[in-house]
């Protein structure tokens, strides 16, 4: 498999974790989001993924997959061990909701193209742009904290004691939150789970600093 | 079942369509996003859904479900007929990717809380805020158009000739895009599929103007 990835992309980081948890070998194809005016915005990448966003995964049979959560559920369906989703529909819905609370409610507001638009088109100051970033991270992580802290389904990780789709989303989001100066300790359950996950080899190997395109 | 809904919410609209396609009866509990400073931000709703976003679905056994895509996959798993997802993993991934290209790449940038932040915190003019809205809709719909127009899997609807999770997301997004003055005809495949879907009774009954809380 080939993963079109950028070392700091949260969405690519999620897929790297899932590939590692499944012990699936893959080749990294670096797509540099800042060089050449953004390699994701140009050929040949936009033919592969017209949405011009990383990641994309090309499976061994040539199938092109986009959208990180869709890719991870595909990997879970085609390589079921170890499972990243529970079996029970209500528990599956809980895991998906936790993942989507990051992937739909936090990350889209804070990725590169949005921060750029704030600066270039709306002429927002660096301070106001960073405050925008922290506002959505704190809003989202506090919602996640209340969900996790208030549920008996939360274990060592987001759902029980084995990593799921929710955990795969949590670590990249917390990584980026810390990088932009958010105080993650204000959400203690999130911080505890993140610390436990970051001890696992699959998460360590997927970290931005351990990628071939890391700077 | 009880659906906590707001007639104009895209995410609630998606769940209404899915419930109707499955022919599942439900009671609408109106959560007015503008009245009382936003009923979604206050008790009792925030106890039900700490993320303070609509929709939430309470199943007959009391299970509380949040995040529209997670709710819809739960409905599809617990009430399989008619299916909203294909069987094949690669096709499932395609449908999920199309849905997420709306739910992760377009809608989060344009919902009420974000447009409010632009105006109240960043003091963006109404014109610049509307341009922000149209920018992300056009960017997203053009990516969706290229994905749909370039694939043999696209049929009468987003994936083949029966409605899927992708279609359930498409119609509410196009509805909102039109409401804010976007020219959807610039994406002809999107416009064609939207028109075909809006003829189906399940989609008609779910439309904002046909809700008990419509204004």
Is the omega angle on the peptide bond into residue A82 within 30 degrees of 0, that is, cis?
Answer: yes
C-alpha distance from B63 to closest chain A C-alpha (Å): 7
Instruction: Report residue B15 as tokens.
Output: 């769940």
On whether the CB atoms of residues A2 and A57 are closer than 8 A, the answer is yes
- Inter-chain contacts counted by CB atoms under 8 A, chains A and B: 125
Convert the pLDDT of each residue in A135-189 to its tens digit.
999 999 999 999 999 899 999 999 999 999 999 999 999 999 999 999 999 999 9
Whether the per-residue pLDDT at A50 is higher than 90: the answer is: no
Query: Is it true that B2-82 and B89-203 share their CATH fold?
Result: no
Q: What is the pLDDT of residue A7?
A: 96
Place of tokens 């987001």: A158
Are B143 and A105 a contacting pair at CB < 8 A? no
Mean pLDDT over all residues of chain A?
96
Tell me the domain boundaries of chain A. 2-82, 89-203
- In Å, how far is A213's CA from the nearest CA of chain B? 25
pLDDT at B78: 98
Q: Taking CB atoms and an 8 Å limit, are A69 and B100 in contact across chains?
A: yes
**C-alpha torsion sign, points A180, A181, A185, A186:** negative
A71: cis peptide before it, omega within 30°? no
What is each CA distance from B99 to A22, B15, B96, B166, B169, in whole angstroms?
Answer: 25, 13, 5, 4, 6
Best B89, B95, B152 residue to mutate vs chain A (most A CBs within 10 Å): B89
Of A71, A128, A143, the CB nearest to B93: A71
B200 phi/psi in degrees, rounded to 5: -80, 135
- CB distance A143–B51 less than 8 Å? yes
Give chain B's residues under pLDDT 50. Answer: none
Is A131 a residue whose pLDDT tops 90? yes
A162 touches chain B (CB under 8 A): no
Of B101, B117, B135, the CB nearest to A67: B101
Under 8 Å between Cβ of B21 and B204: no
Q: A32 — alpha (psi -120 to 50), left (phi > 0) or beta?
A: beta
Option in A96, A108, A118 nearest B108 (CB): A108
Nearest chain A Cα distance for residue B172, angstroms: 16
Interchain proximity A77–B92, CB inside 8 Å: yes
Task: Return the CA Rg of chain B.
Answer: 17
The span from the first CA to the last CA of chain B, in angstroms, equals: 24
| Residues 33-72 (A) with a CB less than 8 A from some CB of B | 50-53, 59, 63, 65-67, 69-71
- For B136, name the nearest residue in chain A, comparing CA atoms only: A114
Q: Which residues from chain B sit within 8 angstroms of residue A105, using beta carbons?
A: 51, 53, 108
Q: What is the pLDDT of residue B37?
A: 83
pLDDT in tens, B74-89: 999 999 999 999 999 9
Overall pTM > 0.95: yes
Q: Do B73 and A63 touch (CB under 8 A)?
A: no
The confidence score (pLDDT) of residue B135 equals 96
The pLDDT assigned to A123 comes to 96
3-state secondary structure string across A112-165: HHHHHHHHHCCCCCHHHHHHHHHHHHHHHHHHHHHHHHCCCCECCCCCECCCCH
Residue B27: the pLDDT is: 98
Mean pLDDT of all residues in chain B? 96
Fold of A2-82: Glutaredoxin (3.40.30)
How many Å apart are CA A83 and CA A79, to the nearest integer?
A: 8
How far is C-alpha B82 from the geometric centre of its chain's CA atoms?
19
Q: Cα-atom radius of gyration of chain A, to the nearest Å? A: 17
* Section A98-110 average pLDDT: 96
Q: Which fold has domain B89-203?
A: Glutathione S-transferase Yfyf (Class Pi); Chain A, domain 2 (1.20.1050)
Where residue A5 falls among pLDDT bands split at 50, 70, 90? very high
**In A, which residues are within 8 Å of B103 by CB distance?**
100, 104
Cβ contacts (< 8 Å) between A71 and chain B: which residues? Answer: 93, 97
């Amino acid at each position: 498999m080939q993963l079109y990835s950028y070392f700091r992309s949260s969405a690519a980081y999620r897929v790297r974790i899932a590939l590692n948890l499944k012990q699936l070998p893959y080749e990294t194809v670096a797509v540099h989001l800042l060089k050449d005016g953004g390699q994701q915005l140009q050929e040949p990448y936009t033919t592969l993924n017209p949405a011009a966003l990383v990641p994309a995964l090309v499976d061994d049979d040539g199938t092109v997959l986009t959208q990180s959560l869709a890719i991870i559920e595909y990997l879970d369906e085609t390589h079921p061990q170890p499972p990243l989703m529970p079996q029970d529909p209500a528990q599956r819905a809980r895991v998906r909701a936790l993942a989507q609370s990051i992937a739909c409610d936090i990350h889209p507001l804070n990725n590169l193209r949005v921060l750029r638009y704030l600066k270039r088109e709306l002429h927002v100051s660096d301070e106001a742009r960073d405050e925008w970033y922290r506002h959505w991270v704190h809003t989202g992580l506090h919602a996640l904290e209340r969900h996790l802290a208030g549920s008996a389904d939360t274990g060592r990780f987001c759902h029980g004691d084995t990593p799921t789709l929710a955990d795969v989303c949590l670590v990249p989001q917390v990584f980026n939150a810390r990088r932009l100066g958010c105080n993650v300790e204000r959400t203690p359950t999130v911080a505890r789970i993140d610390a436990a996950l970051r001890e696992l080899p699959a998460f360590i190997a997927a970290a931005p600093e351990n990628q071939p395109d890391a700077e």
